Amino acid sequence: ETGVTQSPTHLIKTRGQQVTLRCSSQSGHNTVSWYQQALGQGPQFIFQYYREEENGRGNFPPRFSGLQFPNYSSELNVNALELDDSALYLCASSHTRGLAGGVYNEQFFGPGTRLTVL
Amino acid sequence: AQSVTQLGSHVSVSEGALVLLRCNYSSSVPPYLFWYVQYPNQGLQLLLKYTTGATLVKGINGFEAEFKKSETSFHLTKPSAHMSDAAEYFCAVSQNTGFQKLVFGTGTRLLVSP
């Protein structure tokens, strides 16, 4: 069983550019969540995709957008890059069995993409 | 809204000593609680989780944590530290209904000296 993979591993961009990060979810998983981890901080939730639709969003501006594809892989797009966007971007996949209470859907994390904005 | 507070950005112990990493949470709904470990330049690895049932949960590498609802705490312990335990540890909370986003604390770096 293949785990969660992310590409690229590292990326350097300049302010104002756009970037696309990619995530392949674990086999059998239908949900992908994206997190931003700034240096020295805990990960912060960006958004989650379930069955190709955004299923929840954290406190991030609209220039952070995403997609989920029919095979449940996902992309994170960031437009108009700012210096503060420099961070480790983590993708986590899970299998959502239902939205009712008491159903735990474990998230499995990929190794991350480290984005540096100069 | 949910939040997590981790007391102490750095904790130093000697090899063989008790490890105690503190985590307090805030949640308006019954929470799921987690501890993750992150080694340098790597992603997050789940150490242990509390979802339902027994409040003392055991995880990998000899770690355990106890969910104390009255104290809103979920402290992580290990009886005897190893050098390989040196890493960053994150406590996280999620709600147990609907879509489950993880809310993380700011992390505690565990330093282990010989």
Select the residue from A54, A88, A97, A104 to test the B interface by mutation, using most B Cβ atoms within 10 A: A104
Closest-CA residue to A105 (of B73, B94, B90): B94
pLDDT at B96: 73
User: Could you tell me if B108 and B21 are in contact, meaning their C-beta atoms sit under 8 angstroms apart?
Assistant: yes
* Local confidence band at B15 (pLDDT 50, 70, 90 cut-offs): very high
Distance (Å, whole) CA A36 – CA A19: 14
> Which A residues, 60 through 99, put their C-beta within 8 Å of a C-beta on chain B?
90, 92, 94, 96, 99
8 Å CB contact of B97 and A111: no
Distance (Å, whole) CA B34 – CA B40: 20
A-chain residue closest to B107, CA distance: A42
* Local confidence band at B43 (pLDDT 50, 70, 90 cut-offs): confident
**What is the nearest CA distance from B16 to chain A, expressed in angstroms?**
27
pLDDT at B41: 80
User: Could you tell me if A8 and A50 are in contact, meaning their C-beta atoms sit under 8 angstroms apart?
Assistant: no
Report residue B2 as tokens.
């949910």
pLDDT at A21: 98
CA B26 to chain centre: 14
B-chain residue closest to A106, CA distance: B100
Distance (Å, whole) CA A46 – CA A33: 8
User: Could you tell me if B97 and B34 are in contact, meaning their C-beta atoms sit under 8 angstroms apart?
Assistant: no
What mean pLDDT is reported for chain B? 93
Report residue B77 as tokens.
């312990």
Task: State which residues of chain A have pLDDT below 50.
Answer: none
Mean pLDDT of B52-78: 94
pLDDT at A62: 96
